[in-house]
Amino acid sequence: MLTVLTSVFWLIITLGVLVTFHELGHFLLARLFGVRVLRFSVGFGKPLWSRFDRHGTEIAVAPIPLGGYVKLLDERDCEVSAADKHRAYNHKPAWQKFLIMFAGPAFNFILAFVLYWMMFVVGKPEIKPTLGEPVKLMASAGFSDKDQLIEVDGEPINTWSDVSMYLITAGLDHRDIKVTVKTARGSLQEKTLPLSKLPQGIKETEMMTAIGLQPWRMPVPAIMGDLSPQLPAAQAGLQSGDLITEVNGTTVKDWYDLSEKIGQTTAPVRLSYMRNGQTKKAVIETFATDPDNPKRQVIGIRPMQPDEQVREYAQSLYYELSYGPVKAIPMAWQEMLKITGKSIEMIGKLLQGKASLDNLSGPITIAQVAGDSAARGFSWYLSFLALISLSLGIINLLPVPMLDGGQILFLLFEKIKGAPLSERFEVRAQLVGMMLLVSLMTLAIYNDILRTLS
């Protein structure tokens, strides 16, 4: 329950910041051009709180945190007195109306840039993108254990997020790409990853598995370390140094495999293990509460510590992705351009049918990821907030009625026609836009529910 409340809290914070900044763009440009703003609302529905500023604008906070709006004086929506006609939106030149509509998404891009700059200045803990034992396409292309990815498709790589972004977009096109790695010995090598061999119609969620990309992780055999005598494993007879070979009759490869199998099963748990060359068996009848985390149920097993050389290598892969305040400016700009470009590319692939609609996410996923990123640290949350801000800006520029991009498209038609569009046309277009947005939101929430249930 606490996890759900935490996710909801961070969803409200996330959308509150992004929506406020987006609507602030519309608000400030409208004020700049002398348009009267009737209401500035964060959220939809009947206001929970509101007040009027000295210009007569109602500032409101409403209960549904999935958006917001700026209501402008407009003769198409209400009666406007002769004295106020010059302050009505519909009486402004087309270029001013364009800038008012464009300002919302533009402020989202500005916010994303500032957030990325803050992220780089604060510093984000990362892991060097280093390969484990490659399989499938990675193995056939000649990649090796401990290869560190330096460039993918001609683009420099700093994080695993970069790797996923470039491989997935290239994989959807089934396009072979060049990958530069630094080997364990320190030499640079260029290899060709044959993404053209990926199965047709493969989903993005299956892409990394089909490619055979496996991040390096510390080798940890399923050998018992020190066991607490108060927990079920020790009470069932397990001792330090025992090698677990099977869980409920299924072979165990290493400690990671063992942890996964234990996490997926319920008591009783039947274990086979090796001690002094002899096979033994143990049955763990019940789970116990983890002394270090009351929310977890455990059987009380711990791995042996890897040797010092392995620990030192693992430690060398961790680094802080950070820059000084000046250097962070171009780096934030590059990051914003990179994410924007890949986001637009993915939208294009969705429209072409190359990317699956399963990728659409709604408020449930945003809440979960917001909570997770906040738990990982301030810089991770800044990165997430910047990504969502960019997504909001890009989506709002799509030429769909009800969105800013749709309003900009109407202004373009108006300019070409040389006269305002008919009210009947605009109403019908807005209705179509609303139906499209409701359909997409329904699909996104459906995808959220499926992810949560699975």
Tens of pLDDT, residue by residue over 54-98, are 888 999 998 887 788 899 988 887 787 878 788 888 889 989 999
What pLDDT was estimated at residue 27? Answer: 94
* Tokens at 37, concatenated: 């703003």
- Who wins on pLDDT, 264 or 25? 25
User: Residue range 129-157: average pLDDT?
Assistant: 92
**Is 75 an annotated catalytic residue?**
no
What pLDDT was estimated at residue 453? Answer: 59
pLDDT band per the 50, 70, 90 thresholds, residue 347: confident
The region of weakest confidence among 95-104, 126-135, 166-175, 430-439 is 430-439
Cα–Cα dist 215/190, whole Å: 19
- Who wins on pLDDT, 159 or 9? 159
What pLDDT was estimated at residue 169? Answer: 87
Whether pTM > 0.95 for this model: the answer is no
Identity of the residue numbered 34: G
What pLDDT was estimated at residue 4? Answer: 72
Identity of the residue numbered 375: A
Domains 127-215+307-321 and 232-305 in one fold = yes
What pLDDT was estimated at residue 289? Answer: 82
User: Residue range 6-27: average pLDDT?
Assistant: 88
pLDDT band per the 50, 70, 90 thresholds, residue 450: low
Query: Does position 385 have pLDDT exceeding 90, yes or no?
Result: yes
Q: What residue ranges in 140-287 does DSSP mark as E strands?
A: 148-152, 155-156, 177-182, 188-193, 243-247, 250-251, 269-275, 278-284
List the catalytic residue out of 23, 126, 204, 335: 23
* Tokens at 392, concatenated: 């909001």
The percentage of residues in the chain with a pLDDT greater than 90, rounded to a whole number, is: 41
User: Residue range 253-281: average pLDDT?
Assistant: 89
pLDDT band per the 50, 70, 90 thresholds, residue 446: low
Query: Does position 1 have pLDDT exceeding 60, yes or no?
Result: no
pLDDT band per the 50, 70, 90 thresholds, residue 301: confident
Q: In this structure, what are the phi and psi dihedrals at residue 420, rounded to the nearest 5 degrees?
A: -60, 150
Domain spans of the chain, in order of start: 2-123+382-453, 127-215+307-321, 232-305
Cα–Cα dist 286/266, whole Å: 8
What pLDDT was estimated at residue 295? Answer: 72
Per the listing, tokens 């001792």 go with 239
Please tell me the CATH superfamily of domain 232-305, with its number.
PDZ domain (2.30.42.10)
Cα–Cα dist 326/357, whole Å: 40
Pairing of strands 177-182, 155-156: unpaired
User: Residue range 175-200: average pLDDT?
Assistant: 93
Cα–Cα dist 174/327, whole Å: 36
Query: Does position 111 have pLDDT exceeding 90, yes or no?
Result: yes
The pLDDT mean for the chain works out to 87
Residue 307 CB neighbours (<10 A): 9
Which strands, in side-by-side order, build the sheet including 177-182?
155-156, 148-152, 177-182, 188-193
Query: Does position 195 have pLDDT exceeding 90, yes or no?
Result: yes
- Who wins on pLDDT, 35 or 267? 35
Cα dist from 13 to 7, 10, 117, 370, whole Å: 10, 5, 20, 9
Query: Does position 375 have pLDDT exceeding 80, yes or no?
Result: yes
CATH number of 127-215+307-321: 2.30.42.10
Query: Does position 135 have pLDDT exceeding 60, yes or no?
Result: yes
What pLDDT was estimated at residue 452? Answer: 63
What pLDDT was estimated at residue 433? Answer: 74
pLDDT in tens, 304-321: 888 889 889 999 999 999
What pLDDT was estimated at residue 447? Answer: 64
Residues 346 and 169: beta-carbon distance below 8 Å: yes
pLDDT in tens, 216-251: 988 889 999 888 888 888 888 889 999 999 999 999
pLDDT band per the 50, 70, 90 thresholds, residue 451: low
pLDDT band per the 50, 70, 90 thresholds, residue 363: confident
The percentage of residues in the chain with a pLDDT greater than 70, rounded to a whole number, is: 96
